[in-house]
Structure 1
């Protein structure tokens, strides 16, 4: 069964990921115009009962399959994955000479005509000699940067010439031959499992005094992850069932356009803060703006269907906005997004035909409707232990 919630998640993420960084102060004339229009009394109206035919939404039975219960096997895998993702490297005291495939920790200074140049020096850098990059990343260096380290021993100072490419971004260095002087601190090895951890490593890399304390922290994180897995999978299963049981005859064109305008406005405001626009950014990435907006519109169409179904449920169940509860709801949102008051928050979420206040009051009700359906669902879970 196609997971129709992917579209909802995409559209929601696009709005909230942008504003989570804080609102931008820049506002172009087009944005001001849409807000002026939104303040008029021509807001979009529709009868949700005429648009939506509800199917079963109370007491529906769903089955979720995932990792929801603690197991030693699951926790061990979580630990291994966490360590692997951290990209930890520690001193390997058994290795004393740099080889072609070594991971080596160095300090280095780049100089031209005996004078160190800006940006050419660093300390405590862990380098992947074979791949000529920072260990654990794809951050590559100019050709030959690490090659001269091979054959030298821990504790040695090594100096050799390296030539910058002619097309290098810094005109003062482009095509120039410079000298890099390295201090070989130690040969490193990747830490890829719990058994390789030491108190010193977890203290330096994670800020915990001992391996045991770090494991206690990971166990708490693992438990939270299991709870989140169950909550998210349950929500997805219930909403998908409700969507499949119901039918949306049509989405009003003006409502869909308002939803599209909102996301475009939010993205455009974010890009303006960085001195560009959404349209220019899309073009700079080699995509056609109209085609990308058409794709976005299709995604938003799916999320708007879900919104209408939940709105119909809220109406059928007689749900109303509890003003005290809503005040907490909206203040938490605008505070998290860097706003000082709800007026400016509503203003930034207003588009032609749909005010920000109306948008978030509906969001509050649809959230209540979603929670109602989940609370009244019969949820069967099948715990899958991590391999």
Structure 2
């Protein structure tokens, strides 16, 4: 899992807060050039406990099973909301899913926005199949009782409050061509090569199932990695003590989130404060909640920074380039200087922030790689790589302890 600490210290806090700042990006840039850089000695704030050889236990689904894969397939197909032609049905019922083409006309002339082809309609819901937003009243009711291949025309009246004033309150004619009646694709048994080709981008069902098996296996591996890291980070938080978060550092972390959020809302011609106020929220209470969330994530950052210092983890050019390049490129930047400038706030430069993020991520890797991880359900305990933590059974752990005792 890459860029984990960055997500912890920035993205998670942003998602949890949904805030914007009260000053513009121009103001922030101007003030940054005038304020001295924040300085602190992390060892004055962090007392390290055990961080090497931490023993943790994780519980989750990490091993491939036929039952688990079947559930994964079912969930994936259901979430896709796919419908396929049902040859066994020829007459539209009140609860049918129908594929139609339609044309809306007024006084015999088609009107703009009133025509569409290959539309999957839920007759009972009076909406698009799989959707929730309804059509105008009576739009689908006239289809009931007609058969596949029929052309059906009937009057529909737009509501007086309809957004298009040319149509509001007007009665028009919708002409439908009923192409076929459909059914929901709910399981692997409903899949055909045609359904897979039309909806999932594979030529055959076998190809699609092979791809799902790869996805499922990869998801198990991700679960194992994510749960292991979470357990190790939680153990670090429990084992290490942070007396307080330096006030300037906390403010810089909050300001960074606010600055990024501010730019997003400025693009819509407003500020987060104005938006929150208009929605009935207390802006200061929201900022206070954000600050508390950021304080907790910054405590973890300080612990990892102290570990990085203790273990001599520094920024190496090759590793850092591999770390930072996908970050700024995926965010749409073409050069680092602009990227760093946009992540610079009073007292803390963008480059310094991301270099620390790199070091704390490496510190996390170090702790995970040196952890002893017990699991009730491991995907592949024999397929560890250099970047994976050691996953052992209770028997293996006991054997290792005996060996170490003999060596002593």
Q: CA deviation at 1:287?
A: 3.0
Cα gap change, 1:53 to 1:62, in 2 (>3 Å): same
Cα gap change, 1:82 to 1:281, in 2 (>3 Å): same
Pairing 1:98-247 to 2, within 5 Å after superposition? 98-247=92-241
For the pair 1:327 / 2:321, whether they are aligned, the reply is yes
Kept in 2: contact 1:110–1:120 (CA 8 A) = yes
Kept in 1: contact 2:50–2:240 (CA 8 A) = yes
Q: CA deviation at 1:262?
A: 0.7
Partner of 1:12: 11
Max Rg structure: 2
Partner of 1:22: none
Query: Any idea what SS the aligned residue of 2:177 has?
Result: strand
Query: Any idea what SS the aligned residue of 1:319 has?
Result: coil
Alpha-carbon distance in structure 2 between the residues aligned to 1:111 and 1:14: 52
Q: What CA RMSD, in Å, does the superposition of the two structures yield over aligned residues?
A: 2.3
Cα gap change, 1:227 to 1:190, in 2 (>3 Å): same
More displaced stretch, 120-129 vs 280-289: 280-289
Kept in 2: contact 1:99–1:150 (CA 8 A) = yes
For structure 2, the 5+ residue unaligned runs are: 17-21, 380-408
Query: Any idea what SS the aligned residue of 1:243 has?
Result: helix
Cα gap change, 1:347 to 1:48, in 2 (>3 Å): same
- Number of aligned residue pairs: 371
Cα gap change, 1:280 to 1:166, in 2 (>3 Å): farther
Alpha-carbon distance in structure 2 between the residues aligned to 1:33 and 1:328: 32
Alpha-carbon distance in structure 2 between the residues aligned to 1:285 and 1:227: 42
Alpha-carbon distance in structure 1 between the residues aligned to 2:113 and 2:38: 56
Alpha-carbon distance in structure 2 between the residues aligned to 1:161 and 1:284: 41
For residue 43 of structure 2, the aligned residue among 49, 55, 68 is: 49
More displaced stretch, 107-116 vs 365-374: 107-116
Cα gap change, 1:345 to 1:143, in 2 (>3 Å): same
Alpha-carbon distance in structure 2 between the residues aligned to 1:114 and 1:281: 46
> TM-score if structure 1 supplies the norm length?
0.90
Cα gap change, 1:376 to 1:258, in 2 (>3 Å): same
Kept in 2: contact 1:271–1:277 (CA 8 A) = yes
Cα gap change, 1:299 to 1:281, in 2 (>3 Å): same
More displaced stretch, 34-43 vs 105-114: 34-43
Pairing 1:241-260 to 2, within 5 Å after superposition? 241-260=235-254
For structure 1, the 5+ residue unaligned runs are: 18-27
Alpha-carbon deviations, 1:176-225, whole Å to 9, x = none?
22221111111110010101111111011112111111111111111111
For the pair 1:78 / 2:72, whether they are aligned, the reply is yes
